[in-house]
Structure 1
Amino acid sequence: MNFKLATIYILLFSISVSALAQKESRTDANLVGHVTCCGEHIPFATILIEGTTIGTTTDETGHYRIMNMPVGEFTVTAQALGYAPKSVQIKMEAGQTKEIKFDLKKDVLNLEEVVVTGDRNKTNRRDASVIVSTISPKVFEFAQAATLSEGLDFSPGLRLENNCQNCGFTQVRMNGMEGPYSQILINSRPIFSGLAGVYGLELIPENMIERVEVVRGGGSALYGSNAIAGTINLILKDPITNSYEMDISRGSIGAGLEDANPSSDFTAKLNTSLISSDSKTGMALYGFYRKRAPFDANGDDFSELSEINNTTIGSRMFHRFTNRSRVSMDVFHIHEERRGGNKFQYPIHESVIAEAVEHRITTGALTYDQFFREHDKLSMFVSGQKVDRDSYYGAEKSLKDYGLTTDFSYHAGAQYHLHLNLAEITLGLENQGAWLKDRKLGYPDLDNIQLNVEGTDTTFQVPHTENVTIADQETNTFSAFGQYDITWEKLKITAGLRFDHYQVNDYISNDDKSGSVLSPRLTIKYDLFNYLQARASYSQGYRAPQIYDEDLHIETSTARKVLHENDPDLKQETSHSIMASLDFNKKIGNAYVGVLAEGFYTKLMDAFSNEFSDPDSTGTVTYTRVNADGGATVAGINIEVNVVPTEKLMFKGSFTYQSSKYENAQEFGETSFLRTPSDYGYLAIDYQPIKKLGFSLTGNYTGSMLVPYFGNTLPANSEGELRESNPFYDIGIKARFNWKLNGATMQFYGGVKNIFNSYQDDFDYGHDRDPGYIYGPGLPRMIYAGIKISNLIH
Structure 2
Amino acid sequence: MPIRTVCCILCMLYGLKTWTQGASITGKVSSEKHSIPFVNLYLKNTTIGSSTDELGMYTLRNIVPGTYTLVATVMGYLPFEQRISLSENQQLVLNIEMEAAAERLDEMVVTGTLKAVSRSESPVPVEVYSPTFLKQNPTANIFEALQNVNGVRPQINCNVCNTGDIHINGLEGPYTLVMIDGMPIVSGLGTVYGLSGIPNSLIEQIEIVKGPASTLYGSEAVGGLINIITKNNLTAPEFFGDTFMTDWGEYNLDVGTKVNLGKNTNLLLGINYFKYDNPIDNNGDNFTDLTLQDRISIFQKWDFKRKNARIFSVAGRYFYEDRWGGELQWTPAFRGGDEIYGESIYTRRWEILGKYQLPVEKQLMFSFSYNDHSQNSVYGNVPYLADQRIGFSQLTWDKSIGKHSLLAGFALRYNYYDDSTPATSNSTGNKPDEVLIPSLFLQDEIAFNKRNSFLVGARYDYDSRHGTIFTPRAAYRFKFTDTDILRLNAGTGFRVVNLFTEEHAALTGARDVIIAEELKPERSFNMNLNYLKKIYADNGTFLAFDASIFYTNFQNSIIPDYDTNPNQIIYDNLNGKSISQGLSASLDIAFPNGLKAMLGGTFQDVGVTENDIKRRQILTESFSANWSISYTVSTWNLTLDYTGNLYGPMRLPLLGTNDPRREFSPTWSIQNIQFSYNKIKNFEFYGGIKNLLNWTPNNGNPFIIARANDPFDKEVSFDANGNAIPTQNNPNGLTFDPSYVYGPNQGIRSFLGLRYTIN
Q: TM-score range by the shorter chain?
A: 0.7 to 0.9
In structure 2, the residue matched to 1:12 is none
Q: What's the offset of the Cα at 1:248?
A: 1.6
In structure 1, the residue matched to 2:377 is 391
Q: What's the offset of the Cα at 1:610?
A: 2.3
Instruction: Indicate if the aligned counterparts of 2:282 and 2:289 stay in contact, CA closer than 8 A.
Output: yes
Counterpart code for 1:664:
E
Q: Deviations over 1:664-715 (max 9, x none)?
A: 269xx7611111011002101111111621111100111111111229xx75
Using a 3 Å threshold, how does the CA distance of structure 1 residues 319 and 438 change in structure 2: closer, same or farther? same
After superposition, where does 1:126-165 map in structure 2 within 5 Å? 126-165=120-159
In structure 2, the residue matched to 1:780 is 747
In structure 2, the residue matched to 1:627 is 573
1:752 to 662, 675, 689: 689
Q: Hey, what's the Cα distance between the residues in 1 that align with 2:599 and 2:296?
A: 33
Using a 3 Å threshold, how does the CA distance of structure 1 residues 62 and 468 change in structure 2: closer, same or farther? farther
Counterpart code for 2:438:
F
Q: Deviations over 1:160-214 (max 9, x none)?
A: 1111001112111111110111111111111123112254434545344322100
Counterpart code for 2:414:
G
Q: Hey, what's the Cα distance between the residues in 2 that align with 1:495 and 1:371?
A: 29
Counterpart code for 2:570:
T
Q: Hey, what's the Cα distance between the residues in 2 that align with 1:242 and 1:500?
A: 41
Instruction: Indicate if the aligned counterparts of 1:612 and 1:622 stay in contact, CA closer than 8 A.
Output: yes
Q: What fraction of aligned residue pairs are identical, expressed as a percent?
A: 23
In structure 2, the residue matched to 1:602 is 552
- Give the 3-state SS of the residue equivalent to 1:486 in structure 2: strand
In structure 1, the residue matched to 2:616 is 672
Q: Hey, what's the Cα distance between the residues in 2 that align with 1:432 and 1:724?
A: 41
After superposition, where does 1:414-493 map in structure 2 within 5 Å? 414-439=395-420, 472-487=432-447, 488-493=449-454
1:725 to 660, 665, 671: 665
Q: What's the offset of the Cα at 1:149?
A: 0.5
What TM-score comes out, normalization by structure 1 length? Answer: 0.75
In structure 2, the residue matched to 1:708 is 653
Q: What's the offset of the Cα at 1:746?
A: 1.2
Are residue 265 (structure 1) and residue 265 (structure 2) matched? no
1:360 to 337, 345, 348: 348
Q: What's the offset of the Cα at 1:774?
A: 1.4
Q: Hey, what's the Cα distance between the residues in 2 that align with 1:648 and 1:194?
A: 42
1:171 to 140, 165, 172: 165
Q: Hey, what's the Cα distance between the residues in 2 that align with 1:220 and 1:85?
A: 40
Counterpart code for 1:167:
C
- Give the 3-state SS of the residue equivalent to 2:548 in structure 1: strand
Using a 3 Å threshold, how does the CA distance of structure 1 residues 288 and 81 change in structure 2: closer, same or farther? farther
Q: Hey, what's the Cα distance between the residues in 2 that align with 1:437 and 1:364?
A: 21
In structure 2, the residue matched to 1:640 is 586
2:676 to 708, 723, 736: 736
Instruction: Indicate if the aligned counterparts of 1:697 and 1:731 stay in contact, CA closer than 8 A.
Output: yes
- Give the 3-state SS of the residue equivalent to 2:311 in structure 1: strand
Instruction: Indicate if the aligned counterparts of 1:702 and 1:776 stay in contact, CA closer than 8 A.
Output: no
Are residue 116 (structure 1) and residue 97 (structure 2) matched? no
Counterpart code for 1:572:
P
Which piece of structure 1 moves more, 364-373 or 528-537?
364-373
Using a 3 Å threshold, how does the CA distance of structure 1 residues 140 and 468 change in structure 2: closer, same or farther? farther
1:576 to 522, 525, 539: 525
Q: What's the offset of the Cα at 1:588?
A: 3.5
Q: What's the offset of the Cα at 1:570?
A: 1.9
In structure 2, the residue matched to 1:380 is 366
In structure 2, the residue matched to 1:543 is 495
Q: Hey, what's the Cα distance between the residues in 2 that align with 1:748 and 1:85?
A: 26
Q: Hey, what's the Cα distance between the residues in 2 that align with 1:555 and 1:41?
A: 62
Q: Hey, what's the Cα distance between the residues in 2 that align with 1:471 and 1:533?
A: 52
Q: Hey, what's the Cα distance between the residues in 1 that align with 2:691 and 2:758?
A: 31
Instruction: Indicate if the aligned counterparts of 1:555 and 1:771 stay in contact, CA closer than 8 A.
Output: no
In structure 1, the residue matched to 2:233 is 239
Q: What's the offset of the Cα at 1:62?
A: 10
Q: What's the offset of the Cα at 1:154?
A: 2.4
- Give the 3-state SS of the residue equivalent to 1:723 in structure 2: coil
Q: What's the offset of the Cα at 1:758?
A: 2.0
Q: Deviations over 1:399-446 (max 9, x none)?
A: xx33321111100120111123322110100011111111279xxxxx
Q: For this pair of structures, how many residues does the alignment match? A: 638
Q: Hey, what's the Cα distance between the residues in 1 that align with 2:752 and 2:103?
A: 30
- What do you get for the CA RMSD once the two structures are aligned? 3.1
Q: Larger strand proportion, structure 1 or 2?
A: 1
Counterpart code for 1:114:
M
Instruction: Indicate if the aligned counterparts of 1:244 and 1:790 stay in contact, CA closer than 8 A.
Output: yes
Q: What's the offset of the Cα at 1:370?
A: 4.1
Are residue 183 (structure 1) and residue 177 (structure 2) matched? yes
Q: Deviations over 1:738-765 (max 9, x none)?
A: 1334xxx111110001111122123235
Q: Hey, what's the Cα distance between the residues in 2 that align with 1:104 and 1:469?
A: 73
Q: What's the offset of the Cα at 1:770?
A: 2.3
In structure 2, the residue matched to 1:461 is none
Counterpart code for 1:404:
L
In structure 2, the residue matched to 1:524 is 476
Instruction: Indicate if the aligned counterparts of 1:198 and 1:550 stay in contact, CA closer than 8 A.
Output: no
Counterpart code for 1:688:
T
Q: What's the offset of the Cα at 1:276?
A: 5.4
Instruction: Indicate if the aligned counterparts of 2:158 and 2:504 stay in contact, CA closer than 8 A.
Output: no
Q: Hey, what's the Cα distance between the residues in 2 that align with 1:168 and 1:651?
A: 31
Instruction: Indicate if the aligned counterparts of 1:184 and 1:190 stay in contact, CA closer than 8 A.
Output: yes
Q: Hey, what's the Cα distance between the residues in 1 that align with 2:429 and 2:640?
A: 53
After superposition, where does 1:246-325 map in structure 2 within 5 Å? 246-252=241-247, 263-275=248-260, 278=263, 280-293=264-277, 294-325=279-310
After superposition, where does 1:52-63 map in structure 2 within 5 Å? none
Counterpart code for 2:511:
V
Instruction: Indicate if the aligned counterparts of 2:237 and 2:757 stay in contact, CA closer than 8 A.
Output: no
- Give the 3-state SS of the residue equivalent to 1:126 in structure 2: coil
Q: Hey, what's the Cα distance between the residues in 2 that align with 1:734 and 1:423?
A: 48
Using a 3 Å threshold, how does the CA distance of structure 1 residues 344 and 641 change in structure 2: closer, same or farther? same
In structure 2, the residue matched to 1:16 is none
Counterpart code for 1:333:
Y
- Give the 3-state SS of the residue equivalent to 1:323 in structure 2: helix
Instruction: Indicate if the aligned counterparts of 2:618 and 2:651 stay in contact, CA closer than 8 A.
Output: yes
Q: Hey, what's the Cα distance between the residues in 2 that align with 1:173 and 1:581?
A: 20
Using a 3 Å threshold, how does the CA distance of structure 1 residues 41 and 185 change in structure 2: closer, same or farther? farther
Q: What's the offset of the Cα at 1:767?
A: 3.7
Q: Deviations over 1:637-688 (max 9, x none)?
A: 110100112251110121000101112269xx76111110110021011111
What TM-score comes out, normalization by structure 2 length? Answer: 0.78
- Give the 3-state SS of the residue equivalent to 2:195 in structure 1: helix
Using a 3 Å threshold, how does the CA distance of structure 1 residues 565 and 144 change in structure 2: closer, same or farther? farther
Instruction: Indicate if the aligned counterparts of 1:198 and 1:549 stay in contact, CA closer than 8 A.
Output: no
